[in-house]
Amino acid sequence: MTKTFDFATDFVQTHPWPIPRRIFFIAEVGINHNGDIEIAKQLINQAKAAGCDAVKFQKRTIDIVYTPELLSQKRESPWGTTQREQKEGLEFGEAEYDAIDAYCRQVGIDWFASAWDIPSQHFLRRYNCNYNKVASAMATHLEFLRELASEKKPTFLSTGMCKFEDIDRAVEILKEAGCPVILMHTVATYPAADKNLNLSVMHDLRQRYGIPVGYSGHEVTVSPSIMAAVMGAAAIERHITLDRAMYGSDQAASLELSGLLNLMGVIRKIPDCVGDGVKRILPAEEGVAKKLRYWHGA
């Protein structure tokens, strides 16, 4: 695995804008692998080639997360004609996660996953990933939060569909357990319209909780993620795909390789370009001043 980021040092906020020394980038595979481990490996390769820090998946226990009534409903998919067949077709099990773990170690990129139920969180423990992720849908599930918090791992907490009171409770549970927390501002629509992104909320989250704040984007372009990074996002998370036209509810709000490369190219430059906010004359500027200034004051 690659180096674990330390939220206390790697996400230090600098003057005048809270730009971290390095923006942590998560390539969200989610279920865009469509149940195919070879597609998952291609997406891991894509994240590695773009310079992402980690890839993230999703893990569910189908019969806990969904009701029998929903699972019995009709739904046409590549795996059958019911909701159950569709959801089981998208779900990776032990063999696939063993392969993901081995492949990420081979190529040299971190991986982790967001569990959507307590047994799935228990399942993921066997891989000893460096991070945990609380999906927006799980941010109000207090029993789940306490179970995840017991691992005391650095945790990314998404805040979509949440009021401040919901975030208050989640942050309190994680902090009391000794989990370093980074809040991920997000809008839980897929894809999300630009006019609904409300990136300014990142400032409110930072001021209210005094911890690093990132951004998990579901829009179709790269510009809001760049804006979020310039506004001080300590981490950026974006869904990735091989092709937006592939089957799947998240594909349309995901980045293909070209978009991911474009976004990563800009994001990696932001901390250098913003700098430390101290006005100074560079040594190289002094020579230019001597050449261009014909009046040097009294």
Query: Is 11 within the bounds of a domain?
Result: no
Cα–Cα distance measured from residue 183 to residue 152, given in angstroms and rounded to the nearest whole number? 16
Check pLDDT > 80 for residue 117. yes
Q: If you average pLDDT over residues 69-89, what whole number do you get?
A: 98
Determine which helix (DSSP H) or strand (DSSP E) holds 25, and give its type and residue range.
strand 24-30
Percent above pLDDT 90 for the chain: 86
Question: Which long-range contacts link 204-208 to residues 24+ away (Cβ below 8 Å)?
Answer: 205/159, 205/167, 206/18, 206/232, 208/164
Cα-Cα-Cα-Cα torsion 200, 206, 211, 215, nearest 10 degrees, comes to 0
Query: Is 16 within the bounds of a domain?
Result: no
pTM over 0.85: yes
Cα–Cα distance measured from residue 79 to residue 32, given in angstroms and rounded to the nearest whole number? 15
Cα–Cα distance measured from residue 160 to residue 137, given in angstroms and rounded to the nearest whole number? 8
What separation in angstroms does the CA of 81 have from each of 67, 74, 246, 249? Answer: 17, 6, 18, 16
Query: Is 3 within the bounds of a domain?
Result: no
Q: If you average pLDDT over residues 82-105, what whole number do you get?
A: 98
Strands 74-77 and 80-82: antiparallel
Q: What is the pLDDT of residues 258-270, one digit of tens each?
A: 999 999 999 999 9
Structural domain of residue 183, as residue ranges? 24-292
Cα–Cα distance measured from residue 250 to residue 30, given in angstroms and rounded to the nearest whole number? 8
Half-sphere exposure of 282 (CA within 13 A, CB side): 3
Residue 6 pLDDT level (bands cut at 50, 70, 90)? low
Asked if residue 73 lies in contact with residue 18, where contact means CB atoms within 8 angstroms, the answer is no
- Domain count for the chain, please give it: 1
Q: What is the pLDDT of residues 33-72, one digit of tens each?
A: 999 999 999 999 999 999 999 999 999 999 999 999 999 9
Query: Is 258 within the bounds of a domain?
Result: yes
Cα–Cα distance measured from residue 15 to residue 54, given in angstroms and rounded to the nearest whole number? 27
Query: Is 5 within the bounds of a domain?
Result: no
Query: Is 1 within the bounds of a domain?
Result: no
Query: Is 15 within the bounds of a domain?
Result: no
Give pLDDT, residue 43.
98
The single-letter code of the amino acid at 254 is: S
Please list, in sequence order, all residues whose beta carbon lies within 8 angstroms of the beta carbon of residue 179, skipping any fewer than 6 positions away.
132, 148, 149, 151, 152, 153, 154, 155
Query: Is 19 within the bounds of a domain?
Result: no
Enter the DSSP assignment of 116.
S
What separation in angstroms does the CA of 174 have from each of 159, 204, 261, 294? Answer: 14, 19, 33, 61
Give pLDDT, residue 10.
64
Residue 92 sits in a domain of what CATH number? 3.20.20.70
Residue 296's CB: how many other CB atoms inside 10 A?
7
Beta bridge partners of 113: 57
Which of 96-100, 140-144, 208-212 shows the lowest per-residue confidence on average (mean pLDDT)?
Answer: 208-212
